[in-house]
Structure 1
Amino acid sequence: MKYLFLQYPKCSTCQKAKKWLDENDVAYDDRHIVEQNPSAAELKLWLDRSGLPLKRFFNTSGLLYKSMELKDKLPAMSEQEQLALLATNGMLVKRPLVVGENFVLAGFKPAEWEKLK
């Protein structure tokens, strides 16, 4: 099984995640989350597949998230509006993401990633 690994190469957490994937011989296609930002349709599919709340797909610790004051704005936005916003800039999206056929992992938690092996 080959997974889709979305990451930002300068992100230290993404670097750790990529190292973990390589050390554990997990096959993946690497995608730069800013150069190839996920579309709203991809994000909707991944949201449904993940079972996570939409807020988990936002990079809440990112500078762009904070400068746009999204903490205050997101509650008033519809799911469709939030997905469209996420699709505008990869820096808004939580990373790394691992996309499998029937699951999506957001962020790097080695214990959760064990199921990739």
Structure 2
Amino acid sequence: MKKNTMKLNIYGIKNCNTVKKALDWLDQNQLSYTFHDYKKEPATIEKLQQWEQKIDWQQLVNKRGTTWRKLTEDEQSRIQDADSANEALLSNNSMIKRPIIEYGEEILLGFDEKEYTEKLK
């Protein structure tokens, strides 16, 4: 099987279970990557806007996580568009859906083994 030689950048939080699954899958499939930990290297407005050129801003907001659930209903309701979402995501990177994998000009969001196999191998 031909190994993928494109550069992979992974964004997330090391102790996130979904990120762990993604990193384990990449390691098992011998794909090299650079990991960007939000705790050490927070996302920037430029990075969020770059991702939003490829996917809808709503997909970046992790509404299933504990960070979202800790927001008040008023805080949640204020996230109406990319600008308000970016403001919230920049103030709390834990609310960004993860992992985000950049490969070539594309990105993958979350962990889906079938999608990883189709697009990264």
For the aligned pair, the TM-score class normalised by the smaller chain equals 0.7 to 0.9
Q: Which residue in 2 is equivalent to 1:2?
A: 7
Could you tell me whether the CA contact under 8 Å between 1:6 and 1:98 is conserved in 2? yes
Quote the offset at 1:73 in angstroms.
2.8
Change (3 A) 1:84 1:73: closer
1:116 paired to 2:120: yes
Matching residue's letter, 1:116: L
Aligned to 1:39: 44
TM-score by length of 1: 0.86
Unaligned runs of 5+ in 1: none
Kindly state the Cα deviation for residue 108 of structure 1 after the two structures are TM-superposed.
0.5
Distance in 2 between the 1:58 and 1:33 partners?
15
CA contact (8 A) 1:57 1:93 kept: yes
Greater Cα radius of gyration, structure 1 or 2: 2
The one-letter code sitting in structure 2 at the alignment partner of 1:34 is K
Q: How many residues align?
A: 113
One-letter code of the match for 1:7? G
The RMSD of aligned alpha carbons is: 1.6
Instruction: Find the partner of 2:70 among 67, 82, 99.
Output: 67
Give the TM-score normalised by the residue count of structure 2.
Answer: 0.83
Residue in 1 aligned with 2:3? none
Q: Deviations over 1:5-47 (max 9, x none)?
A: 1121111111111000011121210111232121111011012
Could you list the runs of 5+ residues in structure 2 that have no partner in the other structure? 1-5
Work out whether residues 100 and 107 of structure 2, in 8 Å CA contact, stay in contact via their aligned partners in 1.
yes
2 CA distance for matches of 1:90 and 1:46? 14
List per-residue Cα deviations over 1:53-110 (Å, max 9, x = no partner): 2111112122221111354332xx3312212221222201111110123111111011
Partners of 1:43 and 1:83 within 8 A in 2: yes
1:54 corresponding residue in structure 2: 57
Matched, 1:84 2:93: no
